Structure 1
């Protein structure tokens, strides 16, 4: 029985800010869910300051996933896709003759992103204003969930304090129903 919470974030982006926004949102999620020693960093996107993780491996992972999203979405006519961040815990799985480990999800974040292009300067200003409001709301969603009783109670006991995260983290990019890497 696996009934982990799924937090969905809907974003409408433009070609100029897609990578920057996705990078900042992914960093913000990880900043609030990595329980090791995290060196903080900030990302300023459209006058919204979002927290991030200053770790070379995390930065590279996020960069790779954002680039994969961008390449896959850029080839599609509908310009839509999603990035999913799944946090799991390792549990012993016992069968008749052996014991193995399995990764069981305890929380999932889904960022649904669509790319649109404003056609006039007036549209661009409104678009940027709406996106800044959406980013502020996204940050509020992240903070509210991670600090809520429900969000805190889903975190499994930390039994490993090595590295930046005691739990496996998987970031998946899905565009057109197909996982891309």
Structure 2
């Protein structure tokens, strides 16, 4: 599959300092929960009274924590208060050319979390902000579930040939803030 037809699901979030890390943890865990396909131990996260699925796996939790921390440090230390966390899921395919053979990772789906940090002006603004963010999270969960269970969302998933790991497909999580890519 080439990148021109790579399904991309975009999630737009406006966050405040108080809940930014929890929201990003929740959204990343929910995406991974629905796309890892291996044998996972489920758990839930409560974020602004929205129940979100999560993966109970030390490596996955470390990855999510590391990426959220990288995003947070870049947002806090720079002038740019916007960034992205991009989850790309691929499959390994045999690559043949004239002189050698090998494997290459071919992306089959991408999730882009656009996040912007804003600070509420006062307590009333903060309550409105949190209510709106909770509504956005609920809508995000609805979009995620609707897409992953749809015919289109199921059709992009390549055949699963190895179910012995938590994810039969390689995936990458990239953090971008301004012009910086943080792995």
Matched, 1:56 2:58: yes
Q: CA deviation at 1:124?
A: 0.6
Match of 1:175 among 163, 174, 177: 177
SS at match of 2:105: strand
- The equivalent residue for 2:68 is 66
SS at match of 1:143: helix
SS at match of 1:97: coil
Partner Cα separation in structure 2 for residue 38 and residue 161 of structure 1: 11
Q: CA deviation at 1:177?
A: 2.4
Render the CA deviation track for 1:88-146: whole Å, top value 9, x for unaligned.
00000101121011000000000000000101110011000000000000101110110
Render the CA deviation track for 1:39-91: whole Å, top value 9, x for unaligned.
01101011000000000000000000000000001122231100000000000
Partner Cα separation in structure 2 for residue 96 and residue 162 of structure 1: 33
**2:80–2:177: 8 Å Cα contact kept in structure 1?**
no
Partner Cα separation in structure 2 for residue 144 and residue 153 of structure 1: 14
SS at match of 2:40: coil
- The equivalent residue for 1:99 is 101
SS at match of 1:123: helix
Deviation >3 Å, runs of 4+:
none
- The equivalent residue for 1:32 is 34
Q: CA deviation at 1:164?
A: 0.4
Identify unmatched segments of 5+ residues in structure 2: none
- The equivalent residue for 2:44 is 42
**CA RMSD, Structure 1 to Structure 2 (Å):** 0.8
Q: TM-score, normalised by structure 2?
A: 0.97
Matched, 1:130 2:170: no
Partner Cα separation in structure 2 for residue 105 and residue 52 of structure 1: 23
SS at match of 1:50: strand
Say how many residue pairs are matched: 181
- The equivalent residue for 1:118 is 120
